[in-house]
Structure 1
Amino acid sequence: MPEHLSPQLQIAVCDDEPTDLRQAAGLTREIMAAEALPCSLSCYDSASALLTAIQNGAQFQLLLLDVMMDGMDGMALAAALRALGDGSAIIFFSSNREMALRGYEVSAARYLAKPLQQPQLREALLYCYKTFCEKKELLLPTEKGQSKLSPSDIIYAESWERGSRLQLTSGPIETPARLSELAAMLPERSFTFCHRTILVNLAFVKHLRPREIELADGKTIPVSKYRISTLKKSPLSYLRS
């Protein structure tokens, strides 16, 4: 997916041990680059420094926090941020496994053991990025300029001349973004291909039939015979008629 269409994740890494901070930041950059997921990454060597940065206007969607730090620790920082209304996803890491249960008190996404291992960190980062994308509004190029829209407003999208045509709850729009690019930007559990040229939002499906889908507004769109088995396994399978 081209980076100009991919939402960028703002990440902060915080650890008071310089070696561990470099390792966490390096692994994070390596994983995000390998997955072609755009991000910006900032490093902090104390919880108080990160808290001050956020209080001064710095914005992050993901925080990687060491739990055991001198002064304010990672748990205390997370609690302070939640009290401020900060909803950033949090990945804790620590050599103290007994602290893991406390992560639930601040709705942490993951708790990883030190030293960090690439497979576990990769899973955590991909999970947080997917969650971020599901909440993120899309910014798409259109003939009227950049248009911001929520995935929940998309009924379906189809290949259209030199790009895609999106049928929204408010009406149709066209974008030069290819359908494959749109699919990569949208939450997998909500959108699926019913045809190689049509991507449908499952929330708007009323009935699934062998050759067509009936949408909530009564309109029908075609279903490919190669996609029907996948659709039957989707959350809309109980809607078949």
Structure 2
Amino acid sequence: MPNQARAPLRIAVCDDEALDRAQIAQMAQEILRAEEIPTEIACFASARALLHAIQTGGAFQILLLDVMMEGMDGMELAAALRAGQEEAAIVFISSNREMALRGYEVAAARYLAKPLDAEKLREALLHCCAAYLQPREIVLPTSEGQSKVNVRAIVYVEPWDRGVRLHFAHKKVEVRMSISQVAALLQEHQFAYCHRTLLVNLAYVRHLRYCELELKSGERLPISKYRLAQFKSEFMKYLKA
């Protein structure tokens, strides 16, 4: 993967075992150096230490988390971060394989088993890097003029009197475009129609039911019976990606 002219990729390694923590950090550093991806890696000995770092302004694009840790475990940490709208890619690394099925609850990118396999870690890191290196901003005509919009922060899109309304975690932005025009701009990202007039970012979906979906915020949106099969297929594809 070629080097990109952007800030270094920031990775957090969180494991309460010092040897495992050092090994994971070293392997990740060597893999990304070979791929010519500038990287900064920070190590944390507890989930609470990493949570505090993020809550006080620390920014990471990838989190490599052990699951079984004293006190707050990796799953609890991931749930707390997602509840706070943290978007970093999460890769769990653990000897407890039974916990792997819970990874979907926090939209984990990968679940790797200990002892850690270098090739599997490489695949997981490059998968996460692809999302990070993908362009995140598009320019849209809003009430304030031509505005840059962070694609990954869009939760869903719905119709508006003069176009569409983009819903974010803490704001709404109105855009003078049709929903099909916006969908065309988002086709390279993880969006899918749950209804003819509702376009949803799959990264924000918590549960999928027969006639509705629940977002991570708790908000519920209807699913058209004509869209259900396709939406379910795209959601499952997203979870397995």
Provide the TM-score with structure 2 as the length reference: 0.56
Structure 1 Cα separation of the partners of residues 119 and 105 of structure 2? 25
Give the total of aligned pairs: 145
- Partner of 1:17 in structure 2? 17
Partners of 1:78 and 1:106 within 8 A in 2: yes
Structure 1 Cα separation of the partners of residues 134 and 66 of structure 2? 26
Partners of 1:6 and 1:37 within 8 A in 2: no
Structure 2 unaligned blocks of 5 or more: 139-147, 152-186, 189-241
Provide the TM-score with structure 1 as the length reference: 0.56
- Partner of 1:45 in structure 2? 45
Partners of 2:112 and 2:120 within 8 A in 1: yes
Structure 1 Cα separation of the partners of residues 6 and 61 of structure 2? 15
- The DSSP-based 3-state class of the residue aligned with 1:13 is strand
Structure 2 Cα separation of the partners of residues 88 and 115 of structure 1? 24
The one-letter code matched in structure 2 to 1:8 is P
Q: Which runs of 4+ in 1 moved over 2 A?
A: 1-4, 135-138
Deviation at 1:40, TM superposition (A): 1.0
The one-letter code matched in structure 2 to 1:56 is T
The one-letter code matched in structure 1 to 2:36 is A
- Partner of 2:163 in structure 1? none
RMSD, aligned α-carbons:
2.5
Deviation at 1:10, TM superposition (A): 1.1
- Partner of 1:133 in structure 2? 133
Partners of 1:93 and 1:116 within 8 A in 2: yes
Deviation at 1:26, TM superposition (A): 0.4
Q: For each residue in 1:86-119, what CA deviation from the matched residue of structure 2 results, as whole angstroms up to 9, or x when unmatched?
A: 0110000100100000001000000000011100
Distance 1:33-1:70 versus aligned 2 partners, 3 A rule: same
Matches within 5 A, 1:22-171: 22-136=22-136
Q: For each residue in 1:68-87, what CA deviation from the matched residue of structure 2 results, as whole angstroms up to 9, or x when unmatched?
A: 00000000000000011101
- The DSSP-based 3-state class of the residue aligned with 1:131 is helix
Q: State which structure, 1 or 2, has the greater radius of gyration over its C-alpha atoms.
A: 1
- The DSSP-based 3-state class of the residue aligned with 2:134 is helix
Partners of 2:89 and 2:128 within 8 A in 1: yes
Deviation at 1:124, TM superposition (A): 0.2
Structure 1 unaligned blocks of 5 or more: 139-148, 153-188, 191-241
- Partner of 1:201 in structure 2? none
Partners of 2:2 and 2:37 within 8 A in 1: no
Partners of 2:12 and 2:42 within 8 A in 1: yes
Distance 1:137-1:9 versus aligned 2 partners, 3 A rule: farther
Deviation at 1:6, TM superposition (A): 4.5
Q: For each residue in 1:22-61, what CA deviation from the matched residue of structure 2 results, as whole angstroms up to 9, or x when unmatched?
A: 0000000000001101111100000000000011110111
Structure 2 Cα separation of the partners of residues 13 and 2 of structure 1? 24
Q: For each residue in 1:133-163, what CA deviation from the matched residue of structure 2 results, as whole angstroms up to 9, or x when unmatched?
A: 114459xxxxxxxxxx89x9xxxxxxxxxxx
Deviation at 1:66, TM superposition (A): 0.2
Structure 1 Cα separation of the partners of residues 86 and 38 of structure 2? 22
Structure 2 Cα separation of the partners of residues 76 and 56 of structure 1? 18
Partners of 1:13 and 1:41 within 8 A in 2: yes
Deviation at 1:4, TM superposition (A): 6.4
Partners of 1:7 and 1:133 within 8 A in 2: no
Distance 1:42-1:74 versus aligned 2 partners, 3 A rule: same
Partners of 1:7 and 1:136 within 8 A in 2: no
